[in-house]
Amino acid sequence: MTRPTHTVRRGATLGPGLAVLCALLALVAFLSVTLGSRDIGLAEVLRALSSLDNDGSITSTVTLELRVPRTLLGILVGAALGVAGAILQGVTRNPLADAGIMGINAGAAVFVVFAITVLGLRGVDVYIWFAFAGAILATVLVYMIASLGREGATPIKLALAGAAVTAGLTSVTTGIVMTNVNALNELRFWQVGSLAGRYTPILTGVAPFLIVGLLASLGFGRALNGLALGEDVARGLGQRVTRTRAAAFGVVALLAGAATAACGPIVFVGLVVPHLARFICGPDYRWILPYSMLLAPIVLLLADVLGRVVAAPDELQVGVVLGVLGAPAFIGIVRYGRLSEA
């Protein structure tokens, strides 16, 4: 049985598009390593990259121990947030869904506050695992609440459960930090959303989770296409809807949980990027997922480079830059009708 002509034609167009995005991502990654708040010549950066050996100089230290891990983490975190947002929008059939709808940010924040106030821990590299655990547990809680009742975890119940859990956990966090100055200062640093100060130990700590999650996510394209047609149609096609949703939420928890734990809650990437991917390649999630996986780190790294260059010798955190640029971009998507059904 041959494929429909329009499917073959679309594949012939979108396949090279992925290659173009790969090249663009490589270019943006190069800019991320060579540009920054510290003025270092291109020749010096290239010399440090070619040797891959930190000789103790400022150039080698900044390039190999700061910028390279930061760039690699930006690629992984951006891809994770973009794919997680695309899967969530497909599973919930909600075009406004992102990681926040599952309580990931709120769950991570609660556990960070617990690590600070109860255990007395300090530093991103220390409480990253508490943030990861909080994000995972909050996601499980949302799905369990939404699964109550005869219908199971329907899109509407998932959205309502996520909103309720987020509101509850946010209230707990706010109540604690308002009475604890140390918790407020530490949480504020984490909540801004940043790639700065995330060194090699953090990269190596979360990379296995992100890579496994990204590889697993590529297998959900056909299932998400079925869910987009409605639950009854998906079941008629032989799909086990409940199992599909549970597996998808597990992958999203892994991706968004690890990304949020490492860099804090980075806004708009998981919300806007899937719509850009959908605008380029249409409603087929077999293409939306890989396109989101490449578009999101491009957006994230560009915002990070912009924050470093514009405010040099200081820098704006990437969460701030994305908040400033993402809000009007999203309004533009809504205004011009690009906010399509997930």
Domains of the chain as residue ranges with CATH: 30-335 (1.10.3470.10)
CB atoms < 10 A from the CB of 150, how many? 4
Please give the chain's pLDDT, 342 residues, in tens. Answer: 445 555 555 656 777 889 999 999 999 999 998 887 777 777 777 777 777 666 667 777 777 888 889 999 999 999 999 999 999 988 888 787 888 777 888 888 888 888 888 887 776 667 778 888 888 899 889 888 988 877 777 778 888 888 899 999 989 888 888 887 777 777 777 777 888 877 788 888 889 999 999 999 999 988 888 888 777 777 777 778 778 888 988 899 889 888 988 888 888 898 889 999 988 888 899 999 999 999 999 999 999 999 888 877 778 888 888 888 877 877 776 666 555 555
Task: Give the angle subtended at the CA of 38 by the CAs of 312 and 28, to the nearest 5°.
Answer: 85
Give the pair of three-digit tokens for residue 79: 């891809």
CB atoms < 10 A from the CB of 142, how many? 29
| 188/177 Cα distance (integer angstroms) | 10
Rounded to two decimals, the pTM is 0.87
**Structure confidence by residue, pLDDT tens digits, 160-186:** 888 899 999 989 888 888 887 777 777
**Structure confidence by residue, pLDDT tens digits, 26-65:** 999 999 988 877 777 777 777 777 776 666 677 777 778 8
